[in-house]
A and B are shown apart, each in its own frame.
Chain A
Amino acid sequence: MMLITPILTHLPYDFWQMTSPSLHPSIHPRLAINDLAISRGGALLIEGLNLELKAGQVLFLRGANGCGKTTLLRALAKLIPLRHGQYAINGVQHKADHATLMRQLLLVGHRNAGFEHLNVISSLRLMASMMNIETSPKQITEQIMAALDKMGIKPLAERQISHLSAGQQRRLALARLMLAADMTHRLWLIDEPFNTLDDDAASRLCDIITSYCNHGGSAVISGHGTMPLIPDMTLTLGITPSGELS
């Protein structure tokens, strides 16, 4: 443990600000992390993390490559086991029922998760089904078209996914967020979205996230450098290679 010296700091309370008075108060914070430790390949990446994220807030994970941002995101999605500690999303403990916990979140990872032989609409329809979004088929189609429109890829609706460019596939992956846009209780976990987007797509994504948060949604987003979002509603968690948190 000598090489990894975690600094246990609570984020100062005045750093957190509610953005909009229209948020209805919820009993539980959107995300509550308690004394979290995660190790990967024998090395302790994160230790002693304590955090609370309220509705309408965005948590920005900033750090260089390989220091644990993706690991933390995936651990919150229960893909990676925790070394120590616990977390709760909307009050649902991570050790609770799997299905209930999964209904509280939505992950967009590095990979685009498109079914390469399907066309765009079919792929999104399948993803909506897997996310257990229960609406009528007609409504789903409308929601899908609206999502594609928001990300600027509506003309590509009938195109097969393997025929899309990398940038278009990335937009498609992020369009998935819109499918659950009215379920503002879901915590969005987005892994390095701004790295591979062009300016137009980046600004569209910003609009989507901002609007989501204004309606009470929350997100955890990772990246390096600064993030092009409204600064007063984001908390920043910096992870350095030696494990320091700030």
Chain B
Amino acid sequence: MLKNIGGINYDCYPLTPAQLLNLALIKDGATHEVENIGAGQYLQLDLNMAALREALNRAVERCESMRLRLWKDPDTGEMWQYVVPYQNEYFEYYDFSGWKDEKIKDVLNKWTSQPFDTFGGKLSRIVIITLPDGYNGFYYNVHHACMDSSSVIAFTRDVIEIYCSLMFDMPYPKPMASYIESVKKDMAYEGSKKQKKDEEYWRKQYALPEPLYTDYTGPGRLMELRRKNNNPDQKWGLLSSADGKGNTITYELDVDSTMKIMEFAKKYDLPVSAIILHGIRTVLAKFNGGAEDVVISDLVSRRSTLNNKKCGGVRMHCFPLRTIMPLDTTVLESMRLIKKTQDEIFIHSEYPPLQCFGELAQAHGAPPEATYASVDFTYQPGTLAAIGETLRGINFKSWWYSSGKQPKPMYITAMHRPSDGGLNFYFGYQTACATPEEIEFLYYFTGRVLFRSIENPDKTLQEIIDMT
């Protein structure tokens, strides 16, 4: 729809369910920097600054969602999005070569904590950076309504491939896909046959008996809520932070241990995500008195087609991944049930996630802010490692910076390191909902459960819980 914004007519489109999911987090989290993604990508190489500027400009020109703006109609309050035409930009440059790593991180975290004016202007900032030890590259901060971690990786890859093409006579990368076309496809979902089928699927899930909230710190929070509400049978939990203050703790799994997971996945024809989810799920069961009914919020990238992989934007949806397993279920049965449930979610993942969580709560008479999942999980399969392959032996560092806010109480991301392919586990947490000690505990037990499970795929969940 054509809208006149600041005296210029733009083709405007409604926000997608994935964007609305993100903006709902701002409302809950109160401040807009909760929506910032800060990342730094650095090569141990003397970069040609003019070529890097050119590569960055070309990548922004090719990526519509890096030029995305949001607009709220002052008369109706409706939210819209539009893409502004590309304009060549002279990116800022900072030289941190004589600085200590911690001090640099402090500065870049501070930049990442600067909120964008969500409905008023540009939603990204790029800075060219020199780090100590000969690393050069760029930092960027972008609003989560424009990009998610998959698009950050795709954009980074595009910049690096354009740079390599300009400098080393490597092939010029294929064009990015259109973000606006992906929005149009999302719009066509409304009222479609597919929507009807997805709705049927999710309604069947709501009709099951009420799930049980299983907290990553054990049953204490649910017990407290039951006492407070004078309802000993209450099954829903509440977990959120008013100010969204948060942090990220990163754990690096060594390459050998990562390989054990990958080889197990291959041997038993299981996705890596189902194996890790089995680890988290079993720990939640262990911490909650051997709970048989566990829900984890599973994030789905929705980047299955070639176009979706290269269209930028934010496409991530999340859904309740619920599995009910008696404790005599074996490890392999558990992983296979998780895979099966995940497969079903994948098929029905176009459904608007806010609607799904709202309908689930409503179906069980719980308040809209109620939750049955204490943990959000996503696995990024090897995309950053692919950049490492492109660079063929050039050392590459990729850092994620914190805005000091977190959108979710406990958000675990598993992602492969570009340097050696080992898995990094990022625990993004809200400080009102978890302490570093609780996260250490959660990671420690997840690791123990994972590797005991891989070594003993025929043991039962009870046996794994007892062994750990």
- Chain A partners chain B: no
